[in-house]
Chains A and B, each alone.
Chain A
Amino acid sequence: MRPSRLSSAQRRRGGSLWLALLTLVLAMYLTILPIPGWPFDYQPPWVVLALLFWCFAAPSRVGVLVGFCVGLMVDVLTGALLGQHALSLSVTAYLAIMLRARIRIFPLWQQTFFVWLILLVERLLTLWAIGATGQPMPPLTYWTPSLIGLFLWPFMSLLLTPMERRVGPR
């Protein structure tokens, strides 16, 4: 097919992948950006939230593979064990894709609760990888990013519907 005959919807969906990748790279940037006086444990889980958002908005584009690749990048960026975040983020993407159709029709508070569960699963898998490889155990504040994500999700879900209308399946 020649480029001129691409339908506008298709072009928009092609653009959605770039937009998603851009947001994900931005999320990685925010993850490693040091902010004075703002400890790491009290920062939102940028990458996980961005990944969840795009798995919900454009599941045909962003899924397990993107989650895996992003996780690998985060591992290299933060000097963590290779595969640690790749594991947790690909499972996160999978859960988001599988639960998406169900969660989207829930009222907002239930939807947020399920998102929180996914965030907890992500934390749990990373913790398991840390424990299984004998790295030092993190303190209890390790779990705070999931709580921050819980409070951020309602605002993100406001963006979700317009974005879905633009790029997602109809």
Chain B
Amino acid sequence: MLRSAAIKPLFARGPSPTFRVFFAALTALGLIVADHRHQHLEMVRSALAFLTYPVQYAANQPTELVRTTREQLASTHELRVENAELHRENLLLKARLQQFEALEAENIRLRDLLGSSLDLGERVVIAEIMSIELAPYRQQVMVNKGTKSGVFIGQPVLDANAVMGQVVRASPFSSVVLLITDADHALPVEINRNGLRTIAAGTGLSQELELLYIPKNADVRAGDLLVTSGMDGRFPAGYPVARVTTVRQDPDNPFTTVIAAPTARLDRSREVLLVWNLSETSRQQALAGDATKARGSQ
């Protein structure tokens, strides 16, 4: 062999770096546009997520380790106190559930009489938040359930107290949840006290929501509870979202400035609930079943 492989060729073969960077930049721009304007790239993202999942899994491990160690080091006394507390809470919740079931049945009957549509219920799965730094300056979290568990884009996410956000990206084993406080997020809500409908938009701060287009004379008070109105067809109606903290009249603003604090523990929750609405057909089936039952009882 004339040319030893150990000698580096004087001229690099293949396309020049300038050509390569031109090509790479064009591809990247194409990707940005395609990902921003259309939703065609979810397949590519899921495929790449297969490769990146081990890294994310590994990054989650230190926090997990700290958590398990802390759990194991917890004293018997602490555990006993916690157990007693949970016991009491469970009893309370059960008592409330009994009432709730009676109320729900009554509600269904009344709605049936009115001939209006109803929300029969949802299926819920618990997912765990992974401790991973996502894109900074966004209010996003990653959870450990993905399309394999039936997660889909646009799915509502709740915690024990209130609405947290919705799924924006779903890969096979994990998905990204956009929190309601992200500056790009807004959801239709109503004031629980008087049914006034409005929109709660995120501000990018982790404990702040802003209510949009509230007229100057609207009846809003600090302390009002905001619940989802279900007008978007995405979040189920009637879940708590936030509590109004300040109502302010700014002279330069044609609307009232209303700030609310999310009731969900956005930065402290570890477990979240992924919600599936019952589909339209199953809802109708349930309605039909209810109707026949009602007829049978007459």
Residues on A close to B: CB < 8 A? 1, 6-7, 9-10, 25, 28-29, 31-34, 40-41, 60, 63-65, 67-68, 71-73, 76-84, 86-87, 90-91, 93-94, 97-98, 129-130, 132-139, 142, 169-170
Determine if A79 and B59 form an interchain contact, defined as CB atoms under 8 angstroms apart. no
Determine if B17 and A63 form an interchain contact, defined as CB atoms under 8 angstroms apart. yes
Determine if B59 and A90 form an interchain contact, defined as CB atoms under 8 angstroms apart. no
Determine if B32 and A60 form an interchain contact, defined as CB atoms under 8 angstroms apart. no
Contact check: which of B31, B58, B136, B137 meets A83 at CB < 8 Å? B31
| A71 to B, closest residue via Cβ | B28
Contacts of A133 in B (CB 8 A): 32, 36
B44 beta carbon closer than 8 Å to chain A? yes
Determine if B131 and A138 form an interchain contact, defined as CB atoms under 8 angstroms apart. no
A142–B135 Cα gap in the complex (Å)? Answer: 12
Contacts of B58 in A (CB 8 A): 29
Contacts of B68 in A (CB 8 A): none
Q: How far is the CB of B18 from chain A (nearest CB, A)?
A: 7
Helix, strand, loop or mixed for chain A's interface?
helix
| A137 to B, closest residue via Cβ | B137
Determine if A32 and B27 form an interchain contact, defined as CB atoms under 8 angstroms apart. no
A166–B273 Cα gap in the complex (Å)? Answer: 53
Helix, strand, loop or mixed for chain B's interface?
helix
A117–B41 Cα gap in the complex (Å)? Answer: 33
Taking A138-B137, A169-B8 as contacts, is the C-beta distance between A68 and B17 under 8 angstroms?
no
Contact check: which of A34, A71, A87, A139 meets B29 at CB < 8 Å? A87
Taking A32-B132, A98-B17, A133-B32 as contacts, is the C-beta distance between A79 and B55 under 8 angstroms?
no
Q: How far is the CB of A168 from chain B (nearest CB, A)?
A: 9
Taking A7-B5, A91-B21 as contacts, is the C-beta distance between A60 and B55 under 8 angstroms?
no
Taking A7-B5, A170-B8 as contacts, is the C-beta distance between A82 and B44 under 8 angstroms?
yes
Contacts of B4 in A (CB 8 A): 7
Determine if B134 and A79 form an interchain contact, defined as CB atoms under 8 angstroms apart. yes
Q: How far is the CB of A93 from chain B (nearest CB, A)?
A: 8
Residues on B close to A: CB < 8 A? 4-6, 8, 12, 17-18, 20-21, 24-25, 27-32, 34-36, 41, 44-45, 48-49, 51-52, 55-56, 58-59, 62-63, 131-138, 140, 142, 168-169, 176, 182-184, 204
| A73 to B, closest residue via Cβ | B52
| B62 to A, closest residue via Cβ | A33
Contact check: which of B18, B48, B137 meets A76 at CB < 8 Å? B48
Taking A60-B12, A73-B51, A77-B56 as contacts, is the C-beta distance between A87 and B28 under 8 angstroms?
yes
Determine if A40 and B28 form an interchain contact, defined as CB atoms under 8 angstroms apart. no
Extra 14 A-B pairs, beta carbons < 8 Å, given A34-B132, A79-B135, A79-B142: A10-B6, A31-B133, A34-B63, A34-B133, A60-B12, A77-B55, A79-B168, A83-B34, A86-B24, A90-B21, A90-B28, A94-B18, A94-B21, A138-B136
Contacts of B131 in A (CB 8 A): 34
Q: How far is the CB of A99 from chain B (nearest CB, A)?
A: 11
Contacts of B134 in A (CB 8 A): 32, 78-79
Determine if A82 and B41 form an interchain contact, defined as CB atoms under 8 angstroms apart. yes
Contacts of B12 in A (CB 8 A): 60
Determine if A129 and B18 form an interchain contact, defined as CB atoms under 8 angstroms apart. no
Q: How far is the CB of B138 from chain A (nearest CB, A)?
A: 7
Determine if B51 and A29 form an interchain contact, defined as CB atoms under 8 angstroms apart. no
A138–B47 Cα gap in the complex (Å)? Answer: 29
| A132 to B, closest residue via Cβ | B32
Contacts of A68 in B (CB 8 A): 24, 27-28
